[in-house]
Structure 1
Amino acid sequence: MPRALVSFTSLYAATLLMLLGSGLLSTYLALRLSANEVADIWIGSLMAANYLGLVIGGKLGHKLIARVGHVRAYVACGGLVTAAVLLHGLIDNLGAWFVLRLLVGLCMMCQYMVIESWLNEQADSQQRGMVFSGYMAAVYLGLVLGQLALGLESGLGIEVLLWVAICFALALVPVAVTRRMHPAPLVPAPLEPLFFVKRIPQSLITVAVSGLVTGAFYGLGPVYASAAGLDTAQVGQFMGVCILAGLVAQWPLGKLSDRIDRARLIRYNALLLLLACVPLLLIKEPGFLLLLLMAFAIGLLQFTLYPLAVALANDHVEAERRVSLTAMLLVTFALGACVGPLLVGGLMAFFGNNTLYGFSLVCAALLALLIRPQAVTGEHQVAEAPLQHQGMPPLIGSSPLVAALDPRVDEAVVQEQMVDQQPPAS
């Protein structure tokens, strides 16, 4: 294994354990509420609360890290997440669960920020691409294993929550005992929303649609699979196959994205996603094998919308604004991911569980109509465009600081925008 990856093993292990616990928790809560015949809109609201917590955590995390330092902030947030997970088993109240999910999202965003700033600051500039790839692999692998772990328990009892809590507790150990030098305190990157709306409207539209579809999938995908006749273990396999497809798609997508006009590729992606959703919209209870095959095809397309939008945006934004760009894209995605599960949850109550893929179909159709390659004039295209395509984590495990790991972003600019070398005394 390359030395660059070995030296960050502890941080990768912490990331994998966090995402394993997070993926398992999201699917478990959706299945448990569905088994208790809770309305789909309330199930969707839990995923919306999680993404809302991620947005809030992106703001509050900087202040907490600046006040107590990286390790203390990470351990404190990890303790809160572990407690929140266990409280799901002690409190059987939907309103309380909403607050707990928001708290989990908020604290996990702070943990992502700690890990990503550590990786960025201590990775050599020549190794940032490899370090970034290792981080992305840990995120995807953790999410996939979290779904497959559902098969370890036959029911939906509190035992699953105990396993989730164990994952989050163990994720504290690698960071708490690390002997690495602590990164410098962070300052937030400015969003500059008006600038980006004018400069990269098609990228923002793609990111928003990606958020709508992905948020709905994570929040209500388990409900759809359960209604299609799958048992708990099979639901985990269904979710895992979808997420695994997103990882598999990253390398060939990068090759295509570096050779084909990216706006045109987004439109092709949207049209293929539309077609892939048709069978699952029309067939009420597809067989398990067909469901897995279609889920894999949809995952290939669904999880590649965001990285395509990122690549297109980076081609038209100057290097000194790319950290702010990543913050803007993540906020746009998270807001879409808050709305998606709420919309789909409400629609599923009236039109049935197949509405999940009907919604994805409509989103894909709108994206195909709104993305106009001819509107990309190249007026603001940067000199080095097209930049090399870089695979991105699936947005349930990243913060605005993920830009710092992207080899396309100049390291000096990252340090200037994200790190305050002379923090004020508290």
Structure 2
Amino acid sequence: MMFAGLRSVWVLLLGVAILSLGHGLHGSLIGVRASAENFDAATTGLIMSGYFAGLLLSSIVTPRIVQSVGHIRVFAAFASVVSTAVLLIPLWVQPTWWFLMRFVAGLCTSGLFIVCESWLNSVSTNKNRGQLLSIYMIVTYAAMGLGQLLLNVPDSSGFSRFIIVSALLSMAMLPLTLMRSETPSLAGIRSVTLAEIYRSSPLAIVATLASGMAQSAFFSMGAVYALMQGLPLSLVSVMMALPPLALIISQYPAGLLSDRYDRRSVIMILSAIAAAIALISIPAATISSSVLIALFTAFGAIALPIYSLVIAHANDHMAKEQMLGASSKLVLLYGTGAMAGPSIAGQFMQHIGSPGFMTFMALIYAIMAVHALWRRRQRPTTVKASAGDIMKAGPLTTPVAAQAQAEEGSARQQVAS
């Protein structure tokens, strides 16, 4: 069953891998180039926030566009536009221009992932959807991590790396446009308000917003932080590559623990550990580059899985007909936090220096840990849905991936009942 499912989507996964390679390089490249152009941390943070503003808008409008004109046309259009936007960035070294191009990149790149995920959802079944989504996330994060290593490509002109990003985003179009499948459907979402979600699971609201702020800053400002710590570009690329790869390893054990124990307790403990690592890294990062990279990787391995546990916790408290609408709302809430995260982290780094990055991370995850502890005391017992959604929600999750996860959870509830 699994191999048959892979045969039907391997072309799609190839396109996702190429797309993620370009996406991974693009995020860190902007931070590296901004530092080279002597943009201060606050300005760089604002530029980085432009991507997530585009992501938030894309999460709202792209599903409607796909329904109107079809996923192949949308993918081709978005790939063309984002490839052009990437090439236009180095033509004018000006923060406002870079913010606008990052906004366009966020709008289109998020749209590309929405199309890929809707396609994956359309060719999967309730029997293999969970496995295929897990493989999809593994491919995505592995390629994102490897994409960071392309920062080592020599670029005396200042254009070469941008050309590589543009080429990868354009090449991602080829496998997708040659793939045959039925047009995916994005219909059937029952509206659920944030107030309803908060009444069911206050922790899901707070932790989703906090995860958006922290994870967007982590991926957007991490390279800037590494450069402020004095790392050469070769080590910056390694430092940014390791956390997504570590996430592939740490996500499953984190999900397994959350299935066996109170999910809020697991979220609380992981958040507390992440905050502690962030605080320890402030003085320890000056010891050596190896210590800095090790702590950064450990922080990513602990902190990055938390968002998927938060989504699973929210679904624990949702009826099957509410899961889809709730998951989509949480993705939008994540995007709202993600839009603010790089700007706030940039302000911390501007006023405190390089320690401001991990200070911001420690603050966010400490708040999350304290809130999880408080909610556990307010509601000592909690329901637990059948999980298995170990690796299906992460920093790239779009409403379509949320739909696939919710559909699988609903199907399991139907079987159980």
Q: Distance in 2 between matches of 1:368 and 1:66?
A: 40
Matched residue, 2:400: 401
Contact 2:25–2:147 (CA under 8 A) maintained in structure 1: yes
C-alpha deviations, 1:297-332, integer Å up to 9, x for none? 101111021011112111111111111121121112
Q: Distance in 1 between matches of 2:16 and 2:258?
A: 28
Q: Any idea what SS the aligned residue of 2:61 has?
A: helix
Q: Give the letter for the 2:368 counterpart.
A: L
Change (3 A) 1:154 1:74: closer
Q: Any idea what SS the aligned residue of 2:409 has?
A: coil
1:50 is the counterpart of 2:27: no
Offset of 1:413 from its aligned partner? 11
Q: Give the letter for the 1:206 counterpart.
A: A
Change (3 A) 1:286 1:52: farther
Q: Distance in 2 between matches of 1:340 and 1:311?
A: 23
Q: Distance in 1 between matches of 2:185 and 2:309?
A: 31
Q: Distance in 2 between matches of 1:323 and 1:223?
A: 37
Offset of 1:71 from its aligned partner? 0.4
Instruction: State percent identity of aligned pairs.
Output: 26
Q: Give the letter for the 1:111 counterpart.
A: L
Offset of 1:3 from its aligned partner? 2.3
Offset of 1:204 from its aligned partner? 1.5
Q: Any idea what SS the aligned residue of 1:398 has?
A: coil
C-alpha deviations, 1:65-100, integer Å up to 9, x for none? 123211011100110010001111222222111111
Alignment of 1:142-221 (within 5 A): 142-153=143-154, 157-184=158-185, 186=187, 190-221=191-222
Q: Distance in 2 between matches of 1:260 and 1:36?
A: 49
1:277 is the counterpart of 2:278: yes
Contact 2:285–2:292 (CA under 8 A) maintained in structure 1: no
Unaligned runs of 5+ in 1: 415-426
Offset of 1:393 from its aligned partner? 4.4
Q: Distance in 1 between matches of 2:308 and 2:251?
A: 8
C-alpha deviations, 1:234-263, integer Å up to 9, x for none? 111101112222221111112211111111
Q: Give the letter for the 1:402 counterpart.
A: A
Offset of 1:169 from its aligned partner? 0.6
Contact 2:90–2:159 (CA under 8 A) maintained in structure 1: yes
Offset of 1:35 from its aligned partner? 1.5
Q: Distance in 1 between matches of 2:335 and 2:292?
A: 27
Which stretch shifts more, 62-71 or 290-299? 62-71
Offset of 1:287 from its aligned partner? 1.2
Matched residue, 1:306: 307
Matched residue, 2:379: 376
Contact 1:4–1:130 (CA under 8 A) maintained in structure 2: no
Matched residue, 2:131: 130
Matched residue, 1:297: 298
C-alpha deviations, 1:324-362, integer Å up to 9, x for none? 121121112111111111111112111111110011111
Contact 2:67–2:186 (CA under 8 A) maintained in structure 1: yes
Q: Give the letter for the 2:247 counterpart.
A: G
C-alpha deviations, 1:352-397, integer Å up to 9, x for none? 1111001111112212221121223557x3xx625334213432x3
Matched residue, 2:333: 332
Matched residue, 1:98: 99
Change (3 A) 1:268 1:280: same
Q: Give the letter for the 1:390 counterpart.
A: I
Contact 2:311–2:393 (CA under 8 A) maintained in structure 1: no
Q: Give the letter for the 1:182 counterpart.
A: T
**TM-score, L = length of structure 2:** 0.93
Change (3 A) 1:411 1:377: same
Q: Give the letter for the 1:261 counterpart.
A: D
Matched residue, 1:422: none
1:341 is the counterpart of 2:346: no
Q: Distance in 1 between matches of 2:126 and 2:186?
A: 20
Q: Distance in 1 between matches of 2:185 and 2:130?
A: 21
Contact 1:271–1:368 (CA under 8 A) maintained in structure 2: yes
C-alpha deviations, 1:266-323, integer Å up to 9, x for none? 1111211121112321246341211121112101111021011112111111111111
Contact 1:49–1:99 (CA under 8 A) maintained in structure 2: yes
**TM-score, L = length of structure 1:** 0.91
Q: Distance in 2 between matches of 1:156 and 1:244?
A: 30
Q: CA RMSD in A?
A: 2.1
Q: Give the letter for the 2:301 counterpart.
A: L
Q: Distance in 1 between matches of 2:319 and 2:157?
A: 50
Q: Give the letter for the 2:26 counterpart.
A: L
Q: Distance in 2 between matches of 1:36 and 1:338?
A: 23
Q: Give the letter for the 2:46 counterpart.
A: S
Q: Distance in 2 between matches of 1:403 and 1:60?
A: 16
Contact 2:122–2:182 (CA under 8 A) maintained in structure 1: no
Q: Give the letter for the 2:125 counterpart.
A: D
Offset of 1:233 from its aligned partner? 1.8
Q: Give the letter for the 1:130 counterpart.
A: Q
Which stretch shifts more, 72-81 or 33-42? 33-42
Contact 1:274–1:362 (CA under 8 A) maintained in structure 2: yes
Q: Any idea what SS the aligned residue of 1:126 has?
A: coil
Q: Distance in 1 between matches of 2:202 and 2:100?
A: 33
Offset of 1:151 from its aligned partner? 1.8
How many pairs were matched up? 410
